[in-house]
Homo-oligomer: A and B are copies of this chain.
Amino acid sequence: MDAEPKNTGGKAEPWGDITPDAARRLVSAAVHAFAERGYHATTTRDIASRAGMSPAALYIHYKTKEELLYQISKVGHERALAILERARDSAGSPAERLADAVRSFVRWHAEHHTTARVVQYELGALAEEHHAEVIAVRKATDGAVRSIIEDGVKAGVFDVPDVRGTTVAALSLCIDVARWFNADGRSTPDEVGDLYAGLVLRMVGADGGQP
């Protein structure tokens, strides 16, 4: 039972705090392989060799290939949720909190687009029990964004006829960043985050355009 210093928002590899060094290398290798080819197209031999070990070494640290995906998916979803909950619970107007949520959520998806791609698009490969666990976290992410929008509507500063649909749309925008974002591309995570925060403010009818 050590004290574990959690690194929930960092900019570097999000797997720096995994305890045995070999296990960390395995997770990192799996993230990259899953993101490139998808879970089912990735072989355990590929993961092991990216981590610099023999195929059998994987099974010292993880019982199955699926357990690796579960670890990635669970931790990733929890970090993503933490980002949104921090924005929801912060001080400030609904518009400020919504902009903060979108900006930081998008930035996370862009900065960690490799991890985020696995988190957002490979959860269908999880075992049923693990899948259900992850779905529960996703419901909470939806709830976090929706409650910010509801606050704005109640305060009369947002104009949103369909709160549920607009929440889904805002989350869509953010999540899809993991699909297309490329670190060598035209724009930085910060730029995309700022742009998308403005777009979502416009979507909810808060001022985001005219100065």
Contacts and interface: CB of A to CB of B under 8 A. Distances in A.
A87 interface: no
A193 to B, nearest CB: 11
Interface in A194-209: 195-196, 199, 202-203, 205, 209
Interface residues of A, number: 33
Tell me which of A176, A192, A195, A205 has the highest count of chain B C-beta atoms within 10 A of its own C-beta.
Answer: A176
* Copies of the protein in its oligomer: 2
B38 A210 contact: no
A173 interface: yes
A169 B168 CA distance: 14
Interface of A: 37-38, 40-41, 121, 124-125, 159, 162, 164-166, 168-169, 172-173, 175-177, 179-180, 186-187, 191-192, 195-196, 199, 202-203, 205, 209-210
